[in-house]
Amino acid sequence: QVQLVESGGGLVQAGGSLRLSCAASGRTFSGYRMGWFRQAPGKEREFVAAISSSGGRTYYTDSRKGRFTVSRDNAKNTMYLQMNSLKPEDTAVYYCAAQIYSNNNFVQESFGFWGQGTQVTVSS
């Protein structure tokens, strides 16, 4: 079992930046590939980014590549999402999750542990 708690969300103007954190406790954090997802109002939850267990490889959807950076500090049991040049369409609840079986398409079903989410609102 892994418990995940997101923080760092808030209200920011378009063009601004936020850094989300995902703090983990329970089973060995460093053993999991981790991911970020988001769900905008009225839309399905979607994949944002992921990072390998060691932090050596990162994965993004094309639309986020260059604006978002995922990282992790296994010594602190924490994953981060640095978001720059934010747009109103980035408004969503952001979730972190731990992948429990390997799937390079990062389907949500492959992630077995989820945080409660943190709200990000980008004003125009």
CA 33 to chain centre: 11
Token representation of residue 20: 């989300």
Q: What is the pLDDT of residue 27?
A: 73
Token representation of residue 81: 């999402």
Q: What is the pLDDT of residue 70?
A: 97
Quick one: DSSP state of residue 110? G
In DSSP notation, 35-90 reads EEEEE-TTS--EEEEEE-SSSS-EEE-TTTBTTEEEEEETTTTEEEEEE-S--GGG
**For 62-71, what is each residue's pLDDT tens digit?**
776 789 999 9
**For 81-123, what is each residue's pLDDT tens digit?**
999 999 999 999 999 999 998 888 899 999 999 999 999 999 9
Q: What is the pLDDT of residue 40?
A: 97
